[in-house]
Amino acid sequence: MWNYSMLPNDMDILPKLSKHAMVAGIIMVILGGAALFYPFYGSLFTVAFVAWLMIFAGFAAGYATVKGNPKDWLGWLKSFILIMTGALMIFYPGVGIQAVGLMLAIYFLLDTFAGFALGAAMKPAKGWWLWSLNGFISLVLAIIFLTSWTSIQETAWLIGIFVGISLLFDGFMLIFMGNSVKKIGGE
């Protein structure tokens, strides 16, 4: 899975890459563990992160509209919607939690269709059933998110758990990658 040909040719940079991957991995493991132990706060942190990204994207869209075509009302509308949605998520975090929960439910539904389609397309090949299994698991997750969507507390718990697990695994993968790069660099 790892494509070591993507590593830089300059072997002097490998120790830095290894060090930064390890540091980022440790931070992600700590954040993931915290989100697993405190899923509600992990959910609030996720919603705040998404909200601030939307606000910054709104200002960037406004800046691009000013510089590109100040008379473009669709550019201003996009900027306004991004900023207002981000502000709404910050000032009313319950709404933000439900919005993120609904986005995750939609993502899992789309992943369900993709998994089943890939499984059907690859059916004679070895391991085709793994894609169908992935589609089934995504369907179960979508149903879980959709059935808990009306409860802010349940949705917050689910978001915190999923973000925590994701950060935990990503952090461990970065630590693994940092160790692998360190071995390649000869350290």
Structure tokens at 29: 């493991």
Going by C-beta distance under 8 Å and a sequence separation of 6 or more, which residues neighbour residue 5? none
Residue 141 CB: number of other CB atoms within 10 A? Answer: 19
Of 62, 39, 43, which Cα lies nearest the Cα of 51?
Answer: 43
132-164 pLDDT, tens digit each: 888 898 899 899 999 988 889 999 999 999 889
* One-letter amino acid for residue 57 of the chain: A
Amino acid 179: pLDDT? 80
The confidence band for 177, taking pLDDT boundaries of 50, 70 and 90, is: confident
* CB-side neighbour CA atoms (13 Å) of 67: 6
C-beta atoms surrounding 186 within 10 Å: 8
> Residues 174, 4: contact at Cβ < 8 Å?
no
The pLDDT score that the predictor gives to residue 6 is 56
pLDDT in tens, 8-53: 566 667 677 778 888 999 999 999 999 999 999 999 999 999 999 9
Mean pLDDT of 104-129: 86
Mean pLDDT estimate for the chain = 87
Look at residue 1 in the predicted model and tell me its pLDDT: 45
